[in-house]
Amino acid sequence: MPSRRIFLRNSALAMVGVGSAPLWLQRALYADVTGARKKILVAIFQRGAADGLNVVVPHGERAYYRLRPTIAIPRPALDASNRDDAAIDLDGFFGLHPSLAPLKSLYDQNHLAIVDAAGSPDPTRSHFDAQDYMESGTPGLKATQDGWMNRALPAAEGKVSPVRAIALGQTLPRSMRGVQPAVALQSIESFQVRNADAAKQFESMYTAAKDPVLRATARETFEAMAMLQAIQRQGYTPSAGATYPRGRLGQSLQQVAQLIKSDAGVEMAFADVGGWDHHTNEVGQRPSEGQLPNLLREFGGALTAFWKDMGDRMQDIVVVTMSEFGRTAHENGNRGTDHGHANCMFVMGGEVKGGKVYGKWPGLEKEQLYEGRDLALTTDFRDVLGELVARHLGNPSVKGVFPGYDPKFLGLVG
């Protein structure tokens, strides 16, 4: 058996080299030797600091309504008439923003967990620093060169897939940077040399390049390109009638889904979505309208579509969301909120112990607020990510992923 596998591997490699190997053969190349399906982690970054208090609404908290007279999301409705504009109750205290209605059933089926009052302990209220700290996984430490996702990739055995770690976007995000190969792509379709003849010429030139590092990188590139082209040729229709929203996040998650379902060897994926920095007019005249509700509709729609599309494969997948910090507990003078501290995180997956809001609620009374103004932090984001790295991905070296920190697991998975 092993010899046959090696034979397959070598001959397929030769074909990959000229970009003509069929997809099944390429898959065989990167299939795990043990035959077990790899666990996959998908991270979503909400850039701009989402207003967690209007995403997961503490409707059981009086101070919430006192602090936000014009932008609070109303308590869950008892009758059907105004349900669209009220929080959707989760556990009698917390509720989802009405634009996240599609996520409610996932929560009820225990596949969606929420961690509230979570985030980075660093006090900075700078988007730039806070994103940097969260992505490097080392709050307060600027010297860190690589990102937590790159460090979290389990040590590779044998040949690794060229698309093992992927980020949707123009450049490789901080989270993914580091020594392990990781690929940034705008889309599967665009990851190719535009002219097939030129591609061949380039490939033969780079195969003969003098610089060994350049040669090796070029090989990775052409392998990834061949694989992505083969995947692209197959076309893609999401399963189970899933429809991804048209915005950036929906489209990114659809690409991730397509890659995972083609068994290309994805283990780690990253997508981001901006526009959460709502200093003015956060919600419209109705709580279900306006900037934040529109974004949340896209956000919830993208997660739900991904869930539907992936079907049984969600057993091997965890999706986790984060944002650099939360927003002030009180609204400002422009029906918006300013930069705050703790936020909420979503964790979704087949093996996630969902249907629960995790974390200790610190309260919103003046003396309970962080620096007198923001939701206090009770769960370090590394507790959430650390557990996923250790228990979901099975990486034993969590301390190497989050140096200087000892994550306390919440029991989200496993």
Q: What residues line the site for another protein (CB under 8 A)?
A: 126, 128, 131-132, 141-144, 162, 170-172, 174, 181-185, 191-195, 198-199, 201-202, 205-206, 209-211, 213-215, 217-218, 220-221, 224-225, 247-248, 273-276, 278, 280-281, 284, 289-291, 293-295, 371-372, 403-404
* Residue 8: count of CB within 10 angstroms of its CB: 14
The position carrying tokens 């109705």 is: 286
The least CB distance from residue 46 to another protein, in Å, is 11
The least CB distance from residue 193 to another protein, in Å, is 5
The least CB distance from residue 184 to another protein, in Å, is 4
The least CB distance from residue 97 to another protein, in Å, is 15
**b/e string for 243-256 if b means 16 or more Cβ within 10 A?**
ebbebbbbbbbbbb
The least CB distance from residue 338 to another protein, in Å, is 13
d(CA 130, CA 168): 21
Residue 185's nearest CA partner among 215, 227, 154, 157 is: 227
d(CA 318, CA 393): 9
The least CB distance from residue 397 to another protein, in Å, is 14
Residue 168's nearest CA partner among 300, 43, 275, 272 is: 272
Residue 95's nearest CA partner among 63, 50, 61 is: 61
The least CB distance from residue 280 to another protein, in Å, is 7
Closer residue to another protein in complex, CB, 292/314:
292
User: What is the Cα gyration radius of the chain?
Assistant: 22
